[in-house]
Amino acid sequence: MKTLKSIFIILCVVMSFIACKNEKSNSETNDLTIYQCPMKCEGEKTFNEPGSCSVCKMDLKQIEQKSTIVNNEISEESIFNLTSKWNTEEGETIQLEDLKGKTLVMVMIYTTCKAACPRLVADMRNIEAQIPKKNLEDLRFVLVSIDPETDTPQRLKSFAKENFMDEEQWTFLQGTVTSVREFSNVLAVKYKQISPMDFSHSNIISVFNSGGELMHQQEGLGVDNKETIKTILELTSK
Ligand SMILES: [Cu+2]
């Protein structure tokens, strides 16, 4: 009888452990229901389980759910679904998903461009200059090369230095011909090689939220960037 009882106890412990584990892996969103005395006998003190107040003995009342949302899901619209690999100017290999958690300001350029890209780069720097330092931590300015053959990580690194874009908030990416084309389609950026060294291309700066969803685009060179700044500030000030 005694052994049966201890087997039962062990089984219970194991089962509850499994149940606990399951719960964890299933839900990324942990909704925690909290309770409080309706008379607030103990001030703002809250309880994780229903029961009664130890002071006035009234039933605890369920108050708003405190949700600890750990949303690791990527939506269908997210650029983090792209599985291509990219080289950074620091010589690291990353996937776009590695940028998750940061608001992203992205533009497609190539470093040998003499016409539009220097102005696009200036536009990016102009945006960056208007963002308070504290918001920069949650932000990445990403410049994706449309000329992966010329724009090697080394070349991108020296371009970053020449243009004073070598701080942590700046990232330069070299992909492959295929991944660059795929990425440009997502951004609706068009580009075409018109000579061995030159491309014609759209001039679009795109803002993505930390989940990789497109939130805003500005098109043109030296355009009014108020909306872009506003979007970035909304996304980076919590
Ligand atoms: Cu250009």
- Domain extents in the chain: 30-70, 79-236
Answer whether residue 28 shows pLDDT above 50. Answer: no
Least confident span in 18-22, 95-99, 206-210: 18-22
Instruction: Indicate whether 204 pLDDT > 70.
Output: yes
pLDDT average, residue stretch 202-216: 97
Structure confidence at residue 21 as a pLDDT band (50, 70, 90): very low
How far, in Å, from the CA of 225 to the mean position of ligand 1?
19
Contact, 218 vs 204, CB < 8 A?
Answer: yes
CATH class of 79-236: alpha beta
**How far apart are the CA of 169 and the centre of ligand 1, in A?**
22
Q: Which of 55-59, 102-106, 145-149 has the lowest mean pLDDT?
A: 55-59
**Cα 118 to ligand 1 centroid, rounded to whole Å:** 7
pLDDT in tens, 42-53: 887 888 888 888
Three-state SS at 163: coil
Considering only CA atoms, which of 154, 144, 215 is closest in space to residue 182? Answer: 144
Single-letter code of the amino acid located at 224: D
| Residue 75 structure tokens | 């939506």
Q: What's the pLDDT at 33? A: 76
Q: Tell me the mean pLDDT in the region 36-40.
A: 84
Cα 17 to averaged position of ligand 1 atoms, centre (Å): 58
How many Å lie between the centroid of ligand 1 and the Cα of residue 214? Answer: 22
Burial annotation 62-81 (CB, 10 A radius, 16+ → b, else e): eeeeeeeeeeeeeeeebbbe
In this predicted structure, the answer to whether residue 63 has a pLDDT above a threshold of 70 is yes
If you measure from the C-alpha of residue 121 to the centroid of ligand 1, how many angstroms do you get, rounded to a whole number? 10
Summarised one tens digit per residue, pLDDT across range 171-193 is 999 999 999 999 999 999 999 99
Tell me what the pLDDT averaged over the chain comes to.
87
pTM, full prediction: 0.71
Band the pLDDT of 237: cuts 50, 70, 90: confident
Compute the distance between CA of residue 128 and CA of residue 102 in angstroms, rounded to an integer. Answer: 14
Distance 110 CA to ligand 1 centre (A): 6
**Contacts of residue 38, Cβ cutoff 8 Å, sequence gap at least 6:** 53, 58, 59, 60, 61
d(CA 235, CA 238): 8
pLDDT for the residue 64? 65
Question: What would you report as the CA-atom Rg of the chain, rounded to the nearest whole angstrom?
Answer: 26
**Residue 65: per-residue pLDDT:** 59
Residue % of the chain over a pLDDT of 90:
67
Tell me how far the alpha carbon of residue 84 lies from the centroid of ligand 1, in angstroms.
23
> Separation of 20 CA from ligand 1 center, angstroms?
55
Q: For 52, which DSSP code?
A: B
Q: Does residue 23 register a pLDDT over 50?
A: no
The whole-number average pLDDT for the span 123-150 is: 97
